[in-house]
Amino acid sequence: MSTTELCWMPATELAAAIQRRELSPVDVMEAVLARIESLNPQLNAFLAVDAERARTAAKAAEDAVMRGEAQGLLHGLPVSIKDLEPVAGLRYTAGSKFTEHYIADIDGAVTRRVKAAGGIVTGKTNTSHYGHKDMCDNLLGDACRNPWKRDRTSGASSGGAAASVAAGMGPLAHGSDGAGSIRIPAALCGVFGLKPSFGRVPHWPNADIWATRSHNGPITRTVADAALLLSAIAGPEPRDPMTIDNAPDDYVMAVVSPLDALKGRRVVWSEDFGYAPVDPEVRQLTEAAAERFSRDFGCHVEAANPGWDDPRELAATAWHVSYAARLGHLYDERPEWFEPSLGEMIEAGRHTSGVALGKAQLARTMFYQQVFDFLEPYDLLLTPQMPLGAWSVDAGPATIDGKPTPSMFDRLNFTFPFNLTGHPAASVPCGFTREGLPVALQIVGRWHADTLVLQAAAAFEQAQPWAPHRPPLG
């Protein structure tokens, strides 16, 4: 098997071959590291690569297999960690000049679970400065670029994770999602991304643990691979008081025969929530994808707009205040180390009163109830994921379908609502624009229905596979 073939094999197949002693973790790691070395200068998906320790761990994994020792779910598999989570002994920048050369001394909760399951950390993937926006550039170097068109953004803030998976630089990537940061780059890079239910995966360390918006989750090429990684990292964690205090489902088994779980389900399709601008080409492709749930999966599908209050203002208020509170003192110290976009957010947060923030929190409570009421008759909600294909790596789009989009939140209408509510949501590739840019359907589940979301995504993948489509990188 060639090194290129190894780089495109799903993690589930790699794991099975390793267990059968048909494939060495050393060969897998060497193939992935060689591809990173070849492609990362073009894409800047990784901010740090841990090649030597990865090689050592791969050899140890190989030896354990040969000794017949018990193996974890991820035994010998390469896994990347987004650079908003620490990995002990590895560069930990959070996309910031302030920590450009910092070496972490602890593992985050996700990293600990990846290692405990036998996964091998290959490196830290690129992110926007403290994950503040949906484009993957920072002041540390070149922007992360989209593998499908390198003059386009990968999306963010898990942009490096999605770009690396799309380019074959590893089958399993950790991402985090505070306003769409798993689903945005997954959609723009043509891979699968899951924002699990809030608290399904621990988030530690976390300076703003009570904000209850950020979710850790998998970015992969296949749904089964995401189920594998989620199974390894999900579950309660006492250091994160917001984690769900029960054992997760067996996600790996759940996606084996997904069609059985979908027959007769009630599904609602909303093309724009009644207020969100969507490119006509994206609208057409995602509507066609939604029709499969009726035609191919035996679901009862209807179209409806939710009629809930547009949550952009309350989301922006909470977002800006959080950055002002956490980073304002650094902004005062070295304003030249902040991009204008983050500086503007900090200033907006500083000009927000406590009463205004309190009203935003009250509005969030009301919004959750509105979403709950809308979803109560249905099992799943389908929407476009991103309202357009990947835009320029240098600047965000000025308009979408002729409507001005001055704020980042104007292009994230389908993502951040479910950070406010905590519902599980997946980004599923469903086609390409005329420019050859990926388009994705979003699948949203009811409260804690992570398994059904994975099953719906797996059924769609079986009907319309996306993993065989690869960007023009060689």
CATH number at residue 181: 3.90.1300.10
Query: Is 418 inside any structural domain?
Result: yes
Range of the domain at 133: 3-463
The pLDDT tens digits of the residues spanning 381-429 come to 999 999 999 999 999 999 999 999 999 999 999 999 999 999 999 999 9
- Sign, Cα dihedral of 254, 449, 193, 383: positive
* Annotated catalytic residue 59: no
Active-site position among 157, 158, 270, 322:
157
Task: Specify the pLDDT at position 298.
Answer: 97
Give the number of domains in the chain. Answer: 1
Q: Which of 233, 131, 158 is nearest to 450 (CA)?
A: 233
> Is residue 469 one of the residues assigned to a domain?
no
Q: Is residue 80 part of a domain?
A: yes
pLDDT tens digits for 64-90? 999 999 899 999 999 999 999 999 999
pLDDT at 210: 87
Percent of the chain scored above 70 by pLDDT?
100
Q: What is the 3-state secondary structure (H, E, C) of the chain?
A: CCHHHHHHCCHHHHHHHHHCCCCCHHHHHHHHHHHHHHHHHHHCCEEEECHHHHHHHHHHHHHHHHCCCCCCCCCCCEEEEECCCCCCCCECCCCCHHHCCCECCCCCHHHHHHHHCCCEEEEEECCCHHHCCCCCCCCCCCCCECCCCCCEECCCCCHHHHHHHHCCCCCEEEEEECCCCCHHHHHHHCCEEEECCCCCCCCCCCCCCCCCCCEEEEEECCHHHHHHHHHHHCCCCCCCCCCCCCCCCCHHHHCCCCHHHHCCCEEEECCCCCCCCCCHHHHHHHHHHHHHHHHCCCCEEEECCCCCCCCHHHHHHHHHHHHHHHHHHHHHHCHHHCCHHHHHHHHHHHCCCHHHHHHHHHHHHHHHHHHHHHHCCCCEEEEECCCCCCCECCCCCCEECCEECCCHHHHCCCCCHHHHHCCCEEEEEEEECCCCCEEEEEEEECCCCHHHHHHHHHHHHHHCCCCCCCCCCC
* Six-digit token string for 260: 């059985």
| Tokens 């894409």 found at | 43
Quick check: is 164 catalytic? no
Q: Is residue 468 part of a domain?
A: no
Measured from the Cβ of residue 356, the count of other Cβ atoms closer than 10 Å reads 14
* The one catalytic residue among 181, 197, 231, 270: 181
Q: What is the pLDDT of residues 90-109, one digit of tens each?
A: 999 999 999 999 999 999 99
Residues of the chain with pLDDT under 50: none
Q: Residue 474 falls within a domain, yes or no?
A: no
To the query of whether residue 181 is one of the catalytic residues in this protein, the response is yes
In a domain, 445, yes or no: yes
Return the pLDDT at 45: 98
The answer to whether residue 380 is domain-embedded is yes
Annotated catalytic residue, options 24, 82, 158, 197? 82
- Residue 206: which of 338, 91, 85, 331 has the closest Cα? 85
Average pLDDT for the chain:
97
In a domain? residue 471:
no
Would residue 130 be called left, alpha or beta, if left means φ above 0 and alpha means ψ between -120 and 50 degrees?
left
Question: What's the pLDDT at 474?
Answer: 64
Q: Cα(415)–Cα(419) distance, rounded to whole angstroms?
A: 7
pTM greater than the 0.95 cutoff: yes
